[in-house]
Amino acid sequence: MSGPVISLGGSIFSKIDEKYLLEFLERIKRVDGYALVVGGGPMARDEISKLRKIGAKEYYLDMMGIQATRLNATLVSLALGNLMEVPRSIDEAVRQMKLYERVIMGGTEPGHTTDAVSLLLAEALSRDTVVNVTNVDYLYDRDPKLKGAKKIEKISYSSAVEMITSEKRGAGANFPLDILSLNIARRSNIRIKIVSFRSPKNVFNAINNRKFDGTTVL
């Protein structure tokens, strides 16, 4: 298997978007081998919110989020008929990929989002592309809720970092990537494709290296 690593955003696990998760699972079964990194989504946010209210430290909030991603990864793995244990590190994921030609994992350690994990996995597997399946269809030049916001089809790593840190935009607002992910992508020249899970055909166009609607970071 030499295709892209897929970062499956946790937002697809919301009840309102369940049909998109089910269609994604049905379609990914037809792919010959896959490397999936799964986000925590609503479950992670809910549990982290509870911990924050009782004053838990950020480190433990991260640990709670990681557990949520691993539970979602287990759900995906079982739904696809896989009996392998969800890897807890990049090294474990690489070994599993070599043995089974497929891997499904969640988070690894505090401070690393699952997007960053997907970039690290791509590095370790020598993959040149990560497909970020999320709840936005494109990157925009400003908050997409603002009038006049324009879609961005292609953007450089450095320009994407500038957008995240821009005071006008607000740190990370409506932005499906973080600075660590972009820096990993930049150092290893890994292309990032951003697509919305609400168009399953388009998602698999991106995965199968066909023309797709979305943003490419390179």
Distance CA 19, CA 186 (A): 34
| Gap between the Cα atoms of 65 and 73, Å rounded | 12
Cβ neighbors of 87 (< 8 A, separation 6 or more) are 93, 95, 96, 103, 105
pLDDT of residue 174: 45
The residue extents of the domains of the chain are: 5-217
Residue 104 token pair? 């499904």
- List average pLDDT for each run of 10 residues in the chain, which is 218 residues long: 89 95 96 94 91 92 94 96 91 95 95 95 97 94 83 95 67 65 96 97 96 97
The pLDDT value recorded for residue 11 is: 93
Q: Where does the chain show beta strands of DSSP type E?
A: 5-8, 34-38, 102-105, 129-134, 139-140, 151-152, 154-155, 191-196, 215-217
Predicted TM-score (pTM) of the model is: 0.92
CA distance linking residue 127 with residue 138, whole number of Å? 22
The pLDDT value recorded for residue 176 is: 76
Burial bucket for residue 51 (CB in 10 Å: 0-12, 13-18, 19+): middle
With residue 203 as reference, give the H or E element that holds it.
helix 200-207
Using CA atoms, how far apart are residues 193 and 132, in angstroms rounded to an integer?
A: 6
Report helix angle 114-125 to 179-188, nearest 10: 10
Domain 5-217 has CATH 3.40.1160.10: yes
